[in-house]
Amino acid sequence: MYVDSITEQNSSLKIKNRGRVTSHTFISELKKQGVLTLSIDVSEQQLSESAPLPVAPPSPLTTSSFEDEIPRASKLHHQGKDIQRQMLQAISNGLPVDLALPKAFTRELVSSIGRNPDALLCMTKIREKDNYLLEHCVNVAILLANFASHLHMSEQEVQELTLSGFLHDLGKIKVPGDILHKAGGLNDQEMIMMRDHVYFGIRILQDMALPDHLIKIVAEHHERLDGYGYPDGARGDEIGRYGRMIAIVDSYDAITADRCYKAAIASQKALKILHAQAPQKYDKHLIELFVKSIGVYPVGSLVKLSSEKIAMVIKKHDSHPLKPLVKVFYSVRSKHYLPPVEVDLHNSQYRIEKAVLAREFTLDFNRYFNEYIAL
């Protein structure tokens, strides 16, 4: 049904946005909060109940080219951030969150990964200022979907891991903004409050009626094998395989993003950091499998070639991990953009000198991506 407004209640609850309610759990939560009657928009209801949820239309599980999939992946990535924003606003306003929408959205993520994983993996490299939390949750879902698919897990396992990744940081909306966005280091008291986001998240997901085994995955995303993680200080075998996977993916995406207190690190360097902390903190075998799933030079990352040109990785070669397919677009020597040209480094005289970041060459990579890649 399509809810227009609250017409009778025993509380002061307010609905700021009209929208479709799709589950009995959501309705039960409204009743618990004192809502007695709702105003339903029949015209919108008739439309919405015959229309799909506002995510990309489902596509057959067939393979597609990078060029065909990237526009759909770009739309999905933006929709994922919008859904994150809606959920965080609802939680902040004390409203229940309907689990149906993130479930439908993550099914679409998994479908896109099945058609061509490189498209969504590429989207994880597109960052917008001040959008870290929204992008991070979408990216963790994408990386987990790809990781689980690479490990040939069952469809249900892939779906559940992807959903867990998408929901894993909802608790951060309960952390005071001055702590969440603090530019400097946190003091001991602030660190305790920051770490409480896991507990907050667990309670939020319980209210959303997320199954317990998925809440366990979320609860373990900051646990470490040496017992120095949080919130419970779990160690070794106390941490499940899925918990170990989300810990790796969560850390990788965080390291490769600009944060209010630190600059982003190139993907290849981030993978080296994680590998150096295994097996003490991370599962070494899973780290190695994760690297294989995204490549030594992940799709969407930038590299400097021996030709003194900058290129974006668009496809990895499993048999030649150091020689991916790239798209050259910038000359370091002459300091100007070039017409994009694909180069297969496996069949080229040029090689990768190092992984780089756009800021090192003051490149407006997002603009280039939107104009020449996500067409």
Hey, what are 24's tokens?
A: 């009995």
Hey, what are 44's tokens?
A: 């919108």
Q: What pLDDT is attached to residue 7?
A: 62
Hey, what are 4's tokens?
A: 């227009």
Q: What pLDDT is attached to residue 323?
A: 97
Tell me which residue has tokens 């618990």. Answer: 32
Q: Cite the DSSP H helix spans in the chain.
A: 24-32, 42-50, 66-92, 100-115, 117-123, 132-150, 155-167, 177-180, 188-195, 197-207, 212-219, 241-255, 267-276, 284-294, 365-372
Question: Cα torsion at 145, 328, 319, 280 (round to 10°)?
Answer: -50
Q: What pLDDT is attached to residue 218?
A: 98
Please answer whether residues 196 and 219 qualify as being in contact, where contact means their C-beta atoms are separated by less than 8 angstroms: no
Distance of CA 54 to the CA centre of its chain: 18
Q: Where are the domains of the chain?
A: 2-50, 66-294, 302-372
Nearest to 120 by CA among 357, 334, 300, 345: 300
Q: How far apart are CA 297 and CA 292, in angstroms?
A: 10
Buried b / exposed e along 71-85 (16+ C-beta atoms within 10 A): ebbbbbbebbbebbe
Q: Is the dihedral of CA 72, 257, 366, 348 positive or negative?
A: negative
* H/E segment holding residue 2: strand 2-9
φ, ψ of residue 351 to 5 degrees: the values are -135, 165
Q: What pLDDT is attached to residue 24?
A: 57
Give Dmax over CA atoms of the chain in angstroms. Answer: 74
Q: How far apart are CA 129 and CA 219, in angstroms?
A: 28
pTM: 0.84
Q: What pLDDT is attached to residue 202?
A: 98
Q: How deeply is 136 buried, as exposed, middle or buried, from its count of CB atoms within 10 A (0-12, 13-18, 19+)? A: buried
Please answer whether residues 135 and 312 qualify as being in contact, where contact means their C-beta atoms are separated by less than 8 angstroms: no
Q: How far apart are CA 331 and CA 337, in angstroms?
A: 6
Q: How far apart are CA 237 and CA 226, in angstroms?
A: 10
Q: What pLDDT is attached to residue 290?
A: 98
Low-confidence residues in the chain, pLDDT < 70: 1-33, 36-61, 374-375
Q: How far apart are CA 173 and CA 179, in angstroms?
A: 11
Nearest to 256 by CA among 132, 366, 118: 132
* H/E segment holding residue 344: strand 336-344
Hey, what are 122's tokens?
A: 């590429």
Hey, what are 160's tokens?
A: 């559940």
118: left (phi over 0), alpha (psi -120 to 50) or beta: alpha
Please answer whether residues 235 and 108 qualify as being in contact, where contact means their C-beta atoms are separated by less than 8 angstroms: no
Q: What is the CA radius of gyration of the chain?
A: 22
CATH of span 66-294: 1.10.3210.10
Q: What pLDDT is attached to residue 197?
A: 97
The DSSP-derived string for 133-175 is HHHHHHHHHHHHHHHHHHTT--HHHHHHHHHHHHHTTGGGGGS
Q: What pLDDT is attached to residue 368?
A: 81
Q: How far apart are CA 86 and CA 351, in angstroms?
A: 44
